[in-house]
Structure 1
Amino acid sequence: MRILHTIPSALESLRANKGRSILTTLGIIIGVAAVIAIVALGEGASANVSDRLQGLGVNVLTIVPGSTQGGGARAGAGSQVTLKAADADAVGTKVDGIAGITPIVGGNAQVIAGNENWSTRVQSVRPVYQQLQDWTVEAGTFFTDQDDTAASNVAVLGQTVASNLFPSDPDSAVGRLIRVRNVPFTVIGVLASKGSGFGGDQDDVVLIPFRTGQVRLFGSQNVGQILLQISDPSLIDPATRDIQQLLRARHELHAGQNDDFTIRNNNDVISRVQGVSQTMTLLLGGVAAVSLVVGGIGIMNIMLVSVTERTREIGIRLAIGAQPRDILMQFLVEAVVLSLLGGIVGILVGLGVALSLPALAGWATALPWNAVVLAFGFSALIGVFFGIYPARKASQLDPIVALRYE
């Protein structure tokens, strides 16, 4: 009896026990659906994280005051005041491969516009900051090098600030007057929204020219950090070494002394976070896949019960000429059909959950077609693996003993 001839009889046998067949496939359905939903959630989260990290800039190095190396008591990165604007100028002119660089001075401040006020983060930066952080101006324009040189009282608002100071129409902020620490500024631009990042709300910021911040707001030659972009990823490591040597020389640090600054590579942060996200997705997917194995064990148990219940039927078929391989094939097909049916329903349920999560819970998902194919193939293998033992047991029954079975 060829395999195609066994399929109708296998389906008829499963149809005769609908309730048991449905309950048997539940383990596979739950396993496949869980794998697809979890992988979809994981890939969506990974893509969301990647998008947020890209907002920090690609091939971007951040230099902050303070050291994170060496033994004994030491100040943490960002806790000292060892960097100056002149350091940024020196790095920009003496290190190869720098596509753009800006010192940054910032702090929290109360911003007032008419009767509205908002406490936010104010950062004084050079115009190249827009390129380094991949900011898009939604209304108006970004300030220029001329604004920076002249220490002009102009400002660019993030969406959160614009929405709170000008709630009726944030874009109408362009051309309006605001006060930052009682210093008047003219709004010349409103940034497009970036959303929340790992440092909080990226849109809750006011950007002003660097010289303006130094002269009119913060009154300090020290800078909180230096942000720079490397023109090519292959130049990041040599540029980092050159920056370290240059700053050590400028800060007159001797051999054996720790750096009084820290250089951070955004690409390393992106890779680490993406790696953690992928690991968590694989881990959760693996946990969900365990239910597939449990479902396979359930199929094996039910098939063993079926063999016992149908012992007399098997004996009759063997007595009238059926070959053991025909019996083996029928029971194996029944197990595989059960598993595949569970896999198909599980895929539909999993995709339904994946498509519903963004609307119901606001979680980002990505349809994992590779996981769909893998889960379906794995469900077929589960049917073969856990169906082979009951099928072999059925095919090896002695016809005489089987006919006497009550």
Structure 2
Amino acid sequence: MPRARSRSLRHGIAKVLFGEEDPSGRTIRIDRVPFTVLGVLEEKGHSLGGDDLDDQVMIPLSTARKRILGFFAGHPAAVGGVTLRVMDGADMARTNEVVRDLLRERHRLVADSPDDFILRDLAAVQRAQSRSAWLMTLMLAGAAAVSLLVGGIGIMNLMLVSVNERRQEIGLRMAIGARRREIALQFLIEAGLLAMLGSGVGVLLALAAAAALGAGPAIRNPGTGVAVLAAVVTATLVTLISALYPARKAARLDPADALAQS
């Protein structure tokens, strides 16, 4: 294993094999072949493909070919793949061109023959994945916006029905001195309380379902709390906005007409 500075030994294969102890100088066996540990690499996390880069053990290439992996048929000095790391800010297009030219030269490929190797730019793959994630986010945001619009229209219609059914109550309150803004505020407060009550019930049901499915760590994540709070606030705001027109209509009712309703 190559020597490298390590900020922490509490990750990856080093923790699995040696716990919190320093593995430097210890011996491990790979396929019954002993290796001396020279150091631990810094924690890297996961690759684009989801592989844990901290669960890898690096050994000399020649030893791997002779003692662990075996020779490639007919090519005792061949390798199956090479991973290159370039400096920050390097021209990736130029780097890819140079690497391709070198491989074609080493493989003795003529000018009109296709490549017999695959060259991947992980940075380009990451950019493509980022664009795909961004497009997916936009699609989900659009779907959520449509859902909020439909939900807001439904809330407004229900409140209009409520205003029509409570005309006598509204007329009686106005007759005993209630002002128009107080009538409007009453309906807005009722809408806000119903929104928070419904959101609270929805959050409790979601948390219960998540706990039943074994998603306890996700529930304890601080980001989950922020998302829940944002959802409740959004639902309440949509409800209040949808209730503005019904509340205004209730406040503009004529008391005499409202009380005359049978």
TM range (shorter): 0.5 to 0.7
1:321 deviation in Å?
6.5
Using the size of structure 1 for normalisation, the TM-score is 0.46
- Which letter maps to 2:248? R
Q: Which amino acid in structure 2 is aligned with residue 210 of structure 1? A: L
Aligned twin of 2:184: 329
Between the two proteins, what is the percent identity of the paired residues?
A: 32
Q: Which residue of 1 aligns with 2:241?
A: 385
Structure with the higher fraction of residues in strand conformation: 1
Matched, 1:395 2:251: yes
3-state DSSP of counterpart to 2:58: strand
Identify the structure with bigger relative contact order (alpha carbons < 8 Å, sequence gap 6+).
1
Q: Is the 8 A contact 2:199 2:235 kept in 1?
A: no
Look up the match of 1:243: 99
Distance 1:363 1:257, change over 3 A: farther
TM-score, normalization: structure 2? Answer: 0.65
Contact 1:327 1:394 in 2 (8 A): no
Query: Helix, strand or coil: the match of 2:114?
Result: coil
Equivalences, count: 252
2:37 to 176, 188, 210: 188
* Offset of residue 317 of structure 1: 4.4
Is 1:229 matched up with 2:85? yes
Task: Quickly say closer, same or farther: Cα 1:369–1:241, change in 2 above 3 A.
Answer: farther
Give me the whole-angstrom Cα distance separating, in 2, the residues matched to 1:391 and 1:177: 75
1:310 Cα deviation from its structure 2 partner: 2.5
When the two chains are superposed, the root-mean-square deviation of aligned CA atoms in Å is 4.8
| 1:5-404 correspondence to structure 2 within 5 Å | 127=2, 138=9, 158-159=13-14, 163=17, 175-176=26-27, 178=29, 180=31, 184-189=33-38, 191=40, 198=49, 200=51, 202=53, 205-217=56-68, 218-219=70-71, 220-277=76-133, 280=136, 292=148, 296-297=152-153, 299-319=155-175, 325-326=180-181, 329-334=184-189, 336-338=191-193, 341-342=196-197, 345=200, 360-363=215-218, 365=221, 367=223, 371=227, 375=231, 378-404=234-260
Q: Give the whole-Å Cα distance in 1 for the aligned partners of 2:174 and 2:62.
A: 95
State the Cα distance separating 1:326 from its structure 2 match. Answer: 2.8
How far residue 347 of structure 1 moved from its aligned partner, in angstroms, is: 9.8
Following the alignment from structure 1 to structure 2, what is the Cα–Cα distance between the partners of residues 135 and 338?
A: 54
Distance in 1 between residues matched to 2:225 and 2:29, nearest whole Å: 51
Shift, 1:264, TM fit:
1.3
Distance in 2 separating the partners of 1:335 and 1:274: 43
How far residue 252 of structure 1 moved from its aligned partner, in angstroms, is: 3.7
1:24-82 superposed Cα distances (whole Å, 9 cap, x missing partner): xxxxxxxxxxxxxxxxxxxxxxxxxxxxxxxxxxxxxxxxxxxxxxxxxxxxxxxxxxx
Q: Which runs of 5+ in 2 are unaligned?
A: none
Q: Spell out, residue by residue over 1:107-155, the C-alpha distance to the aligned partner (whole angstroms, 9 max, x if none).
A: xxxxxxxxxxxxxxxxxx9x4xx77xx987849xxxxxxxxxxxxxxxx
Q: State the alpha-carbon separation in 2 of the partners of residues 320 and 216 from structure 1.
A: 97
Distance 2:157 2:217 in 1: 40
Alpha-carbon contact 2:192-2:240 (below 8 Å) kept:
no
Task: Give the match's secondary structure for 2:120.
Answer: strand
